[in-house]
Chains A and B, each alone.
Chain A
Amino acid sequence: MSELSSRRVLTDASRLIIEAAVRAGANVFVGYPITPANWLYHYATQRFPTTLPATDEITTLQWMAGFATAGKFPVTATSFPGFALMVESVNMAYMMELPMLIVLVQRLGPSTGSATTGAQGDLLLLRGVISGGYPLPVFSPSNFEDCWELTGRAVAASLQMRTPVVLLTSKEMVMTSRSFDLSRLPDIQQAAWPEYRSANGYLPYRAKPAEPPPFLPVGNRQHQVRINASTHDASGLIRKATPEALANTRRLQEKIEAGMQKHMLFDYHAAPGSDTLLVTYGVTAEAARDAIRRLREHGRAISLLVVKTLLPFPPEALAILRRYARVLIAEENLSGLLRELIYGQMTPASVLGVNKIGKLISPEDIVAGYEKLSSMPSNPNSEAQGGKRS
């Protein structure tokens, strides 16, 4: 980028997220006050063509779903206490196949916890939030550029797959200002629904395998549209578990698995000769970048994997993990949610978590974790040790 075209400003990431969402085609924001998502709401009132203040969290999601059936793209921003109340309605939108973006700004829990303290405590909630374990796409920005790009990506993916999508971030990302060169930001294309164009008869849930059905808004004069949150057939009518209705429900999983293949995002920096991989996501990635640099300055080679598509978890990221004899996973929670997402209850001895609450994980924390991990046994089955990919 030339000096001439640089545009250095001080900005916070809430501004980037809202601007990106609108440029990607989002046009309705339904908000209600909740810390630390308030700046997003504030910017939305200035930028969205339509912003409505909802009375509560359930109303928020219901209004959003209504807007979506009419062909709008709705966005809201919340934190755990609000998201918890939205869960049934998120399931509704998932079943109805309605696109929308929920920006989930993590803060310290449990419960109302500490509203102005950051955290990374909600990953596994999102993994299990759709009853039945169906995948809900979750993107997690690891820096300001990601806040821009992943928001645009999230809106596009949401429309493309007709599904709610979550942008998982933290107080420390969206309420921090930085000097930032806006001219570094790539253009965002406006995304659109998979629209129905045929003149033939329309069935609202008739879809190709592993795809969402083409969309028509309710109220159109050409074709009857039925939208349904209960188990339903291709016509959108409620059906008890008939083979056709169950096939429709199965398609919900299949369309996300297929549709997300082109959205499997992560940054991988392989340090030559390293047998240790540092894995992280979200705001902790910033500390990881500093830690990696510090370790390199001391002659310690360590590779870095910053995961940006958290759900569904990228298979390629798993393949990278298998290459390493030692894995360090840094995240701002106590129990290691990403670690559990990857390894379940069977974390190998060669995997160590760097965990903390109430404060950002620091580069020093990660360096200390690395020192500890280096003294631990490595994984004899990893590809780095000559083991085979399972």
Chain B
Amino acid sequence: MSTKTTNLLTDMKMPFCPGCGYHLSTRVLARAIEKAGIHPLDVVVVSDIGCCGLIDGLLRAHTVHGLHGRAAALAFGIAHGLADASKKVIAIQGDGGATIGLQHLLEAARRNVDMTLLVHNNMVYGMTGGQVSGLSPEPVKDRKMPDEKDIPPFDVVELARAAGAAYSGRIIERGDYTDVLVEAIQTPGFSLLEIVGPCPAHGIGKIKDIAGMALQDVTYRSDREPHVAPRRETHSLFSQLRSVKVDFQANLQGRFSLIVAGSAGEGVQSAADLLANAGVASGLHATKKGDYPVTVGTGFSIAEVILSSEEIHHTGIEQPDMAIIVSEDGLSMMKNRLTDTRILLDAALSWPDAPGSVASLPFRKTAGGKGAALCAIAHWLRQENLLPVEALQQAAAQHKLADRFLGIIEKAKTLAGS
């Protein structure tokens, strides 16, 4: 193939039925590309499933032939991937494809990506037997599927316009509409052109009142700037991670597992994170994970922390060595879970038949609901010194909420035994 030709068409015989509008529309597309002075290899045609998808072999352009209904989304990816205004990405689909992929069409319009979508509305799914589509006008449905006749068709031109397309128009396929197509292709941003021409093979063109289908030539233009996908300079995700130096010494041989159970939004996860950090700063290995319901802002919040003098593989906790429970939400979750463990329970909670030993202390009263979990951890460290409370303070000091956290750790001192 010569790289100088401006002729979009190969010499392949057109595969469409006699009298099909695709003969004309294919030629108009070629004329439009030639008239606009676009090199065929600057054109990427993305074709849908359906008769219109048979166009690939007729073109000297790049061609991408995908799935039924998805041409607009596939072309969207190509347009963003190329990000080159000199390349013309043209998706071609039928009314059936536009129905299936209506979401893709709207999204391409909303983002105003620089591409053109040609919707060939021949009023039925032609290739599969002439079934009605979301764009079939009422008279067509009256004939093909009378039960559907009162359901109005989608107006994809209005939809694309409402979604934000730079260009949105319809052309009833009578004569030469090359200039219309040139404008659609040359418009920066998303262009949708609905090309209406009934499928003769399924007898649509014979319907007498086709003229009364309320389908008219129309053009909408907007001067919205096309959306260009960002290409950002980014940095290693590791640069956000603070290296933890071993400044402290832990008093732990083997593994210690802890569950902190409280309510969402009350600092349970951040308290557990601080403890894990303090563990690492004390020379231990640590793991931490959270468990919460699908509602992030309400309900329980459970954190599991494992500290160990040896490398940790399995991160599950069957029964923890200790559980800290600081709210009703946390308590109700732990009732199903704990069978024999030490429990630090907030004094406002009651669990008469708790399994294992319970120590009850006013964490919420001392540090508020949002400080209770960290308060309990600080109290416990001061009591038992599994690792120095100073390690927790250092971890807190490096947090963006340092002042608050340090204050909570300080308040924990006032608890009996601290």
> Could you tell me which A residues sit within 8 Å of B by CB distance?
7-11, 15, 18-19, 22, 28, 30, 35, 43, 46-52, 55-56, 58-59, 62-72, 74, 88-89, 92, 96, 115-116, 143, 172, 175-179, 182, 217-230, 232, 236-238, 286-287, 289-290, 359-360, 362-364
A289 nearest in chain B by CB position:
B313
Question: Contact: B80 with A49, CB < 8 Å?
Answer: no
Q: How far is the CA of A50 from the CA of B296 in the complex (A)?
A: 28
Contact between chains at A229 and B65 (CB < 8 Å): yes
Chain A min CB distance to B234 (Å): 5
Contact of A49 among B54, B66, B232 (CB under 8 A): B232
Among A65, A232, A287, the residue within 8 A (CB) of B314 is A287
For the complex, give the distance between the alpha carbons of A8 and B246 in Å: 9
* 9 cross-chain pairs, A with B, having the tightest CB-CB distances, nearest first: A66-B77, A70-B81, A62-B73, A360-B316, A63-B77, A66-B78, A286-B313, A67-B81, A218-B62
**B41 and A18 form a contact (CB under 8 A):** no
Whether A177 lies near B289 (C-beta < 8 A) is yes
Partner of A182, one of B57, B76, B238, B288: B238
| Residues A290 and B314 in contact in the complex (CB < 8 Å), given A18-B237, A89-B67 | yes
Cα A85 to Cα B79 with chains together (Å):
23
A-chain residues with CB within 8 Å of residue B61 when the two chains form the complex? 224
Asked whether B70 lies within 8 Å of A49 as measured between CB atoms, the reply is no
Q: Is the CB of B42 within 8 A of A10?
A: no
Contact partner of B64 among A115, A179, A227, CB < 8 A? Answer: A227
* Residues A115 and B294 in contact in the complex (CB < 8 Å), given A11-B241, A219-B42, A226-B56: yes
- Digitize B47-81: 1 where CB-to-A-CB distance is under 8 Å, 0 elsewhere: 00000001011001111111100100111111111
Query: Please, which residues of chain B bring their CB within 8 A of the CB of A218?
Result: 44, 62, 64, 78, 82
In chain B, positions 281-310 with a C-beta closer than 8 Å to chain A are 284-294
- Complex Cα–Cα for A233 and B313 (A): 50
**Number of interchain pairs (Cβ within 8 Å):** 231
Contact A219 B276 (CB under 8 A): no
Min distance, Cβ A350 to any Cβ of chain B, angstroms: 26
B40 partner residues in chain A, CB cutoff 8 A: 224
Assess whether B208 is interfacial by the CB under 8 Å rule.
no
Query: Which residue of B63, B84, B285 contacts A226 across the interface (Cβ within 8 Å)?
Result: B63
Chain A's closest residue to B1 (CB) is A224
| CB-contact partner of A177 in B81, B244, B273, under 8 A | B273
B294 CB to closest chain A CB, in angstroms? 6
User: With A66-B76, A229-B65 in contact, do A49 and B234 touch (Cβ < 8 Å)?
Assistant: yes
Residues of A within 8 A of B312 (CB): 178
Given contacts A69-B64, A236-B63, A362-B318, contact A228 B79 (CB under 8 A): no
Contact indicator A9/B66 (Cβ below 8 Å): no
B57 to A, closest residue via Cβ: A237
Query: Which of A66, A96, A177, A237 contacts B80 (CB under 8 A)?
Result: A66
- Name the interface size band of chain B: 35 or more
- CB closest residue in chain A, given B79: A66
Q: Beyond A66-B75, A67-B81, A227-B63, is A175–B289 a contact (Cβ under 8 Å)? A: yes
Closest residue of B by beta carbon distance from A67:
B81
Asked if B148 is an interface residue, CB under 8 A from chain A, the answer is no
Asked if residues B77 and A179 are in contact (CB atoms below 8 Å), the reply is no
CA distance A217 to B245 in the complex (A): 48
Q: Is B39 an interface residue (CB 8 A)?
A: yes
List B contacts of A96 (CB < 8 A).
64, 66
In the complex, what distance in Å separates the CA atom of A72 from the CA atom of B78? 10
- Nearest residue, chain A, Cβ from B277: A10
| Contacting pair A66 B67 (CB below 8 A) | no
Sample of 27 A–B contacts (CB below 8 Å): A9-B242, A10-B288, A22-B234, A49-B230, A49-B234, A50-B229, A55-B103, A59-B103, A63-B74, A64-B77, A65-B66, A65-B74, A115-B294, A116-B292, A218-B82, A219-B62, A219-B78, A219-B82, A219-B87, A222-B3, A224-B40, A224-B60, A225-B63, A228-B56, A230-B65, A236-B56, A360-B314
- A179 x B286 contact (CB < 8 A): yes
In Å, the complex CA distance between A279 and B54 comes to 50
> For the complex, would chain A's binding face be called helix, strand, loop or mixed by DSSP majority?
mixed
Q: Which residues of A contact B41 (CB under 8 A)?
A: 219-224
Question: Which of B44, B104, B236, B293 makes the CB contact (< 8 A) with A59?
Answer: B104
How far, in whole Å, are A179 and B244 apart by their CA atoms in the complex? 9
Q: Do residues A19 and B238 form an inter-chain contact, with CB atoms below 8 A? A: yes
The CA of A224 and the CA of B284, in the complex, are separated in Å by 60
Q: Note all chain A residues with C-beta closer than 8 A to B87.
A: 219
Cross-interface CB contact of A66 among B60, B81, B237, B285, cutoff 8 Å: B81
Interchain CB contact under 8 A, A49 and B231 = yes
Measured CA separation A63–B80 after assembly (Å): 9
Q: Report if A177-B287 is in contact (Cβ < 8 Å); known contacts: A43-B237, A227-B63, A236-B63.
A: yes
Chain B: CB-nearest residue to A6: B243
Tell me the complex Cα distance, A102–B238, Å.
Answer: 22
Chain B residues with CB under 8 A of A238: 54, 56-57, 65
From B65, B276, B285, B294, name the one whose CB has the most chain A CB atoms within 10 angstroms: B65
Q: A65-B77, A224-B61 are in contact. Are A50 and B276 (CB under 8 A)?
A: no
11 A-B pairs besides A46-B234, A70-B78 with CB distance below 8 A are A56-B103, A62-B74, A116-B294, A143-B313, A220-B41, A221-B39, A221-B41, A227-B65, A230-B65, A237-B56, A362-B314
Q: Is the CB of A116 within 8 A of B291?
A: yes
In the complex, the answer to whether B289 meets A28 with C-beta atoms within 8 Å is: no
* Complex interface residues of chain B between 133 and 167 (CB less than 8 A to chain A): none
Nearest CB in chain B to that of A48: its residue: B234
Q: How far is the CB of A29 from chain B (nearest CB, A)?
A: 11
Q: Is the CB of B73 within 8 A of A58?
A: yes
Q: Say yes or no for B418: interface residue by CB 8 A criterion.
A: no
Q: How far is the CA of A232 from the CA of B57 in the complex (A)?
A: 11
Kindly report which residue of chain B lies nearest to residue A359, judged by CB atoms. B316
B117 at the interface (CB under 8 A from A): no
| A287 B313 Cβ-Cβ under 8 A | yes
With the chains together, A72 CA to B74 CA distance in Å? 14
Q: What residues on B are CB-neighbors of A175 within 8 Å?
A: 289-290
Are B244 and A176 touching (Cβ within 8 A)? no
Once bound together, how far apart are the Cα atoms of A50 and B293, in whole Å? 31
B238 closest partner in A (C-beta): A182
Residue of B nearest to A361 (CB): B316
Across the interface, do A10 and B81 meet the contact criterion of CB distance under 8 Å?
no
Residues on B with beta carbons closer than 8 Å to the beta carbon of A219: 41-42, 44, 62, 78, 82, 84, 87
B189 at the interface (CB under 8 A from A): no
Q: Is the Cβ of B243 less than 8 Å from the Cβ of A9?
A: yes
Complex: A360 Cα to B65 Cα, angstroms: 44
